[in-house]
Amino acid sequence: MTLTPPTDVPAVVETRLAHDVHRVATTLLAEAALDASVPLDATVQLRDFLVANLRHHHQTEDDDLWPLITAKAPTAAQALGSLTDEHDQLDAALDRLAGVAVHDGAASTGEAAVRAELYDAAVTVRDVVHDHLTHEEPLLFPALREHVSPAEWQDFAQRVIATTPPVAGHLMVGFLDEVGTPAEVESVLAGLPEPVRPLVPAMRLQAAADLGVLRGTDA
């Protein structure tokens, strides 16, 4: 099979894929939270994946990517600072989502009440994420093209991968397959550490099974 190479610079392609994963995953969590046919364990796994990955994503932007951009484009500091303010709002929403005591709550107040609480928190995160990305992408994508060299991006991306929390990482593979072309996904997964790469086929199968459960489409 011939893979059509990505048409944009790697920094934009990989950032867009990460953002689209966040869009799809936050939407799925809100949908699964109220679906009584979806086991709570599956919903909690997706919740924990999202909390860990969203926090890590915006922290690496604030701590590493924004300084990289503003070193070359100081005038971008104010706009990027406004995005950091939105990251703070996201942190508050993530704190609330992470604080839903799913299993303890189900035992004490009942599963329906816990699902309602989880749904409400998940919808808040979904809405904050989707709104934030509509603000961020028109600012960030041009900055990535103009002010971040391929070598700088590779160094940044490798540090991001090396520090990504190991929380349900197989779901990232599954979501990437949903939002990217085969060539785009391959370019992202090529950055995985060598010991992890042989595990990708198994991760892909596990992700397909778990996402099927979350969507109620598992066989």
Q: Helix or strand or coil: residue 211?
A: helix
Element (H, E) at 88: helix 77-98
User: What's the pTM value of the predicted model, to 2 decimals?
Assistant: 0.91
Domain-wise residue ranges, the chain: 10-215
Region of 168 on the Ramachandran plot (φ > 0 left; ψ -120 to 50 alpha; else beta): left
| Span 173-210, pLDDT tens digits | 999 999 999 999 998 998 888 888 999 999 999 999 99
The CATH class for the domain spanning 10-215 reads mainly alpha
Task: Report yes or no: 177 and 21 within 8 Å, Cβ to Cβ.
Answer: no
pLDDT at 116: 94
| Span 108-162, pLDDT tens digits | 678 888 999 999 999 999 999 999 999 999 999 999 999 999 999 999 999 999 9
| Residue showing tokens 């996402």 | 211
What confidence category does residue 2 fall into, taking pLDDT thresholds of 50, 70 and 90? very low
pLDDT at 92: 96
- List alpha helices for the chain, DSSP H: 10-33, 40-60, 66-72, 77-98, 102-109, 111-147, 150-163, 169-179, 182-189, 200-215
